[in-house]
């Protein structure tokens, strides 16, 4: 019993540490809210503790005739082995939630195969703090075990046969605790949800239980977003994606060169013409006035691996699942690069980091990119960033590659300098005293690279026949520490510029990242039937933007904005007149996106 309480106390401390680490969010809660976190999270704590106690209980059962010293050594070794990954999970979870707004699960664990990129997201100072915390916490917790529990095991008498009936009684009780009761349905994470706001519910989750459950849970069967039958869903989507408008022509000919620059974490909150901070991106601000600015453009999700598929395949994000992890599925998606290659374009993808990260290479190969340039294709002297080659060098390489082309080209550049921990190779313009100043300083550096690239591009022979698209892969909580599901976090800039643009303008239409594929291909007069969830916004009857977070979605138009949480099964943020019909439209997109995932 004492050993069971030991693990329960650890999970209590883990919740306390979580609340203190995210004090800016915790400070908004009432005393009853904080109490609710511990009360409603207790069932998951019981379940996780029961899992941890199973093995020691078996040890006690099989050593009923042995001395206490042997039992103590076995359980002590097990406890230390269990403590290390548990404390690691607790500490890593703190940083995961800080940036992603989700608790540690298989969404984050899929990056473990690339420790270099995973560590690159965190500053060395934070890594040192986390490692030191790991050592300190494991030492203190194991020391507590030795003083409070191990000493009793060593001194205990041999229970012999009298212990067997006790074990026979305890084992069923443990399994009841693991399942969360005797009902038909086993315990799930929804058991802890008690509050209309996500943060208290997230704080109540047991990180060990959540991580292990997400690893064991089958993610591809059945469709968790099945809200209505297929026929009704398809009819609703057909109406939502209908096209009746005559369309707008932005390009001066049908086969321009195309450069797509995907800017890491380049949130609209940094761009002054979009209402962002002044003076952070002066070069990009200038482009907003020289090209076509899309002022209501929204990312599909919060991660690059999901956003790339949205941009190039017109495929909305899937919340917890990233389709890029399934090459057999992405090969069946439409991909812009494949269509352009068939139209006679030379295609290439450039990234200063490792394209094997998050399984990106397989997606690029499926997309028929004829050339993939990554970190190993740059001189070692240029690999000075935490993530790889800084943006000034990749932009210069892009200019060189374009200058060598003799036929129409489609080139994609994914930047990396504006990524945690926001290390840049120049003195930080706004300092590094806070996370917001780090973000602004990093964005200023990337912006200077953009300005230099545009200046060189304008002097080239290919400029007048080229469309250059700048857009972010996703938004960011920072600057401002925006709540993870708020639309402001997903609003990103997109500008079309270059000599192939007919005229400068601002397009205020609400547009999702997944809509780029169909909109661009129609400008090039290339069919886009392979992109069923991508709208041609220049002809679309209904204007809206849709994004997904961990288990919910946002839906926006010029008249309404709302966020729906699937766990709570309710709207958690709204502005405007929301109807059940509008909520159903968002659900229909979720349902169809997952159906495509299952069928591919």
- For residues 321 and 534, what is the distance between their CA atoms, to the nearest angstrom? 19
Query: 3-7, 84-88, 218-222: lowest mean pLDDT where?
Result: 218-222
Cβ within 8 Å of residue 274, ≥6 positions away: 268, 288, 295, 491, 493
226 occurs within a structural domain: no
Same domain, 284 and 413: yes
pLDDT for 126: 76
pLDDT for 113: 57
Same domain, 239 and 169: no
Half-sphere exposure of 253 toward its Cβ, with a 13 Å CA cutoff?
11
pLDDT for 64: 62
State how many domains the chain has.
Answer: 2
Share of the chain above pLDDT 70, in %: 92
224 occurs within a structural domain: no
Tell which of 186, 216, 246 closes a domain.
216
502 occurs within a structural domain: yes
Same domain, 261 and 381: yes
Q: What is the pLDDT of residues 580-598, one digit of tens each?
A: 999 999 999 999 999 999 9
Query: 426 exposed, middle or buried (CB, 10 Å; 0-12, 13-18, 19+)?
Result: exposed
Question: Average pLDDT in the 83-98 region?
Answer: 92
Question: Average pLDDT in the 390-403 region?
Answer: 98
Tokens of 187: 């315990």
Cβ within 8 Å of residue 120, ≥6 positions away: 386, 387, 419, 420, 421
Same domain, 347 and 424: yes
Does the pLDDT of residue 159 top 60, yes or no? no
Same domain, 316 and 464: yes
Does the pLDDT of residue 162 top 70, yes or no? no
Question: Average pLDDT in the 549-558 region?
Answer: 91
Same domain, 128 and 256: no
Same domain, 306 and 211: no
**Beta carbons within 10 angstroms of residue 384's beta carbon:** 12
- Domain of residue 343: give its range: 232-599
Greatest pairwise CA separation for the chain in angstroms: 90
| Residue 431, domain CATH | 3.40.720.10
Same domain, 411 and 483: yes
For residue 521, what pLDDT band results from cuts at 50, 70 and 90?
A: very high
Question: Average pLDDT in the 522-533 region?
Answer: 96
Share of the chain above pLDDT 90, in %: 69
Same domain, 344 and 474: yes
Same domain, 435 and 580: yes
Tell which of 161, 187, 216 closes a domain.
216
227 occurs within a structural domain: no
For the chain, the average pLDDT equals: 90
For residues 152 and 296, which has the higher predicted lDDT (pLDDT)? 296
- For residues 585 and 544, what is the distance between their CA atoms, to the nearest angstrom? 10
299 occurs within a structural domain: yes
Q: Are 463 and 551 in contact (CB under 8 A)?
A: no
E-assigned strand segments in 473-595: 491-497, 505-507, 511-512, 545-549, 552-556, 561-565, 570-575
pLDDT for 70: 79
Tell which of 152, 185, 216 closes a domain.
216
Tokens of 302: 């919060």
Same domain, 210 and 345: no
CA torsion sign, 351 to 354 to 359 to 365?
positive
Cβ within 8 Å of residue 34, ≥6 positions away: 19, 26, 200
Q: Are 536 and 326 in contact (CB under 8 A)?
A: no
Q: What is the pLDDT of residues 101-148, one digit of tens each?
A: 888 887 666 665 555 665 666 677 778 888 899 999 999 999 999 998
pLDDT for 185: 52
DSSP state of 111: T
pTM: 0.83
pLDDT for 117: 60
């Amino acid at each position: 019993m004492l050993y069971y309480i030991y693990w329960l106390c650890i999970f209590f401390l883990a919740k306390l540490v979580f609340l203190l680490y995210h004090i800016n969010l915790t400070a908004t809660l009432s005393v009853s809210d904080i109490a609710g976190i511990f009360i409603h999270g207790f069932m998951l704590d019981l379940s996780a503790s029961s899992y941890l106690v199973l093995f020691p209980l078996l040890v006690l059962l099989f050593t009923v005739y042995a001395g206490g010293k042997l039992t103590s050594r076995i359980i002590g070794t097990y406890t230390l082995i269990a403590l290390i990954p548990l404390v690691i999970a607790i500490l890593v979870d703190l940083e995961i939630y800080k940036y992603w707004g989700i608790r540690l699960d298989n969404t984050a664990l899929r990056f473990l195969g690339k420790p270099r990129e995973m560590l690159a997201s965190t500053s060395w100072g934070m890594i040192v703090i986390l490692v030191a915390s790991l050592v300190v916490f494991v030492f203190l917790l194991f020391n507590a075990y030795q003083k409070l529990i191990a000493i009793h095991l060593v001194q205990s008498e041999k229970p012999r046969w009298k212990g067997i009936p006790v074990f026979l009684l305890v084992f069923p009780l443990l399994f009841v605790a693991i399942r969360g009761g005797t009902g038909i349905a086993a315990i799930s994470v929804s058991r802890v949800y008690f509050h209309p706001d996500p943060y208290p519910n997230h704080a109540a989750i047991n990180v060990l239980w959540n991580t292990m459950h997400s690893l064991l849970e089958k993610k591809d069967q059945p469709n968790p977003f099945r809200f209505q039958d297929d026929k009704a869903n398809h009819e609703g989507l057909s109406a939502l994606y209908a096209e009746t408008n005559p369309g707008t022509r932005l390009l001066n000919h049908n086969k321009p060169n195309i450069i797509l620059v995907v800017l890491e974490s380049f949130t609209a909150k940094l761009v002054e013409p979009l209402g962002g901070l002044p003076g952070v991106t002066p070069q990009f601000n200038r482009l907003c006035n020289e090209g076509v600015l899309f002022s209501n453009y929204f990312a599909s999700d919060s991660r690059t691996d999901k956003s790339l598929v949205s941009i190039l395949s017109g495929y909305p994000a899937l919340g917890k699942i990233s389709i890029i992890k399934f090459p057999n599925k992405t090969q069946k998606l439409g991909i812009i690069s494949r269509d352009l290659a068939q139209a006679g374009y030379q295609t290439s993808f450039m990234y200063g980091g490792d394209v094997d990260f998050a399984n990106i290479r397989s997606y690029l190969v499926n997309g028929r990119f004829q050339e993939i340039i990554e970190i190993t294709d740059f001189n070692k002297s240029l690999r000075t960033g935490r993530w790889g080659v800084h943006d000034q060098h990749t932009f210069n390489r892009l200019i060189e590659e374009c200058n060598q082309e003799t036929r129409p080209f489609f080139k994609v550049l994914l930047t990396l300098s504006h990524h945690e921990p926001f290390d840049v190779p120049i003195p930080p313009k706004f300092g590094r005293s806070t996370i917001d100043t780090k973000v602004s300083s990093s964005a200023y550096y990337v912006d200077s690279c953009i300005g230099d690239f545009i200046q060189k591009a304008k002097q080239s022979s290919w400029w007048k026949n080229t469309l250059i698209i700048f857009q972010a892969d996703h938004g960011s909580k920072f600057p401002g520490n925006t709540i993870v599901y708020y639309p402001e976090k997903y609003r990103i800039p997109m500008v079309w510029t270059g000599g192939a643009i007919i005229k400068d303008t601002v397009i205020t239409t609400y547009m999702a990242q997944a809509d780029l594929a169909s909109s661009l291909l129609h400008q090039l007069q290339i069919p886009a039937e392979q992109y069923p969830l991508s709208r041609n916004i220049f002809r679309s009857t209904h204007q809206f933007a849709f994004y997904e977070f961990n288990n919910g979605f946002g839906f926006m138009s010029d008249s309404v904005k709302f966020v729906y949480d699937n766990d709570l099964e309710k709207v958690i943020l709204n502005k405007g007149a929301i109807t059940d019909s509008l909520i159903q439209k968002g659900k229909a997109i979720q349902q169809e996106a997952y159906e495509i995932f299952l069928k591919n």
